[in-house]
Amino acid sequence: MADTDAAKEAKRFYDNIPMESPGFFLKGASSLDWGMKNRLARIFNPDTGRTVMFAIDHGYFQGPTTGLERIDLTIVPLMYYADAIMLTRGILRTSVPPTLTKPVVMRCSGGPSILKELSNEELAVDIEDAIRMNVAAITLQVFIGGEFETRSVHNMTRLVDMGLRYGIPTMAVTAVGKDMVRDARYFRLACRICAELGAQFVKTYYIADGFETVTASCPVPIVMAGGKKIPVLDALTMAHRAIQEGASGVDMGRNIFQSEAPTAMIQAVHKVVHEDLKPREANELYETLKNEQKKSEIGSPI
């Protein structure tokens, strides 16, 4: 598409005019019930309207992912810095102390491993069990354009219906297949389908060109997925841009737990999301915290 066409197209999204949400701080949530709003207000900070979710659910299809080998030792301490944690019920019950009061976003889909076709998922948690675990939200992958697209969309609509019954919001994750084009047109399609069919918020990937049209055309909050590990400054820049272009937060995993200094990284991401810290300043903060951490490790008794 020529530049002028792209500019004309972008105009139609009115990305400079935020959608109104009378009576509640989150986009698209005004007409939800009290319990649903209360759960969303535990995940999204009502003062900033944003969230830093910490995603550690990778094991549900790829086993002990690098950095997630020992959740109890290396991951639980990081959870205290997050606004919410996204994980599976197996990890929650085996490895997370019930004294942790962070809101839980429970992974509710599964089936295929990395050895098979990933879009062939089913629902993998009963709503009663989600309630038993006191979750703040339920979540699953939606494979728009994937081989089992209809199945994954149907999984989502069933999860949304179950969530609505008990006041539990559903976060739809727009999963991208290996060979699929990741552009604004695709993510607008995927995010909008999830919102139209009832998801209360959507997790999707950042794209450098046109992300603001993805957030503007999705009538529910979008949180940015982190994706594979990239250099610290690049990850902080991506988070910053996503927020400035309309995301209501991030849900990051590998760029935190595979970082050289995960505690420093999650704190830097927090500043970018909630305080609009610029990427270079956030990177400096990361370096400072990393060095302090190193010094305290050297000084601590063996």
Whose CB is nearest to ligand 5RP? 226
What single string gives the DSSP state of each residue in 101-147? -SPEEEE-EE---TTS-TT--EE-S-HHHHHHTT-SEEEEEE-TTST
Positions in the binding site for ligand 5RP (CB under 6 A): 55, 57-58, 86, 141, 173, 175, 225-227, 252-255
Cβ 2 to ligand 5RP, closest distance in Å? Answer: 33
Query: What SS3 class is residue 85?
Result: strand
| CB-nearer residue toward ligand 5RP: 26 or 173 | 173
Cβ 107 to ligand 5RP, closest distance in Å? Answer: 7
| CB-nearer residue toward ligand 5RP: 58 or 271 | 58
Distance CA 202, CA 171 (A): 5
Evaluate whether 109 touches 175 at the Cβ level (below 8 Å).
no
| CB-nearer residue toward ligand 5RP: 136 or 252 | 252
Cβ 254 to ligand 5RP, closest distance in Å? Answer: 4
Please name the residues in contact with 170: beta carbons below 8 A apart, sequence gap of 6 or more: 137, 138, 139, 140, 156, 159, 160, 163, 198, 199, 200
| CB-nearer residue toward ligand 5RP: 13 or 257 | 257
Catalytic residues: 203
Eight-class DSSP state of 48: T
Cβ 300 to ligand 5RP, closest distance in Å? Answer: 29
For the chain, what is the largest distance between any 2 Cα atoms, rounded to a whole number of angstroms?
64
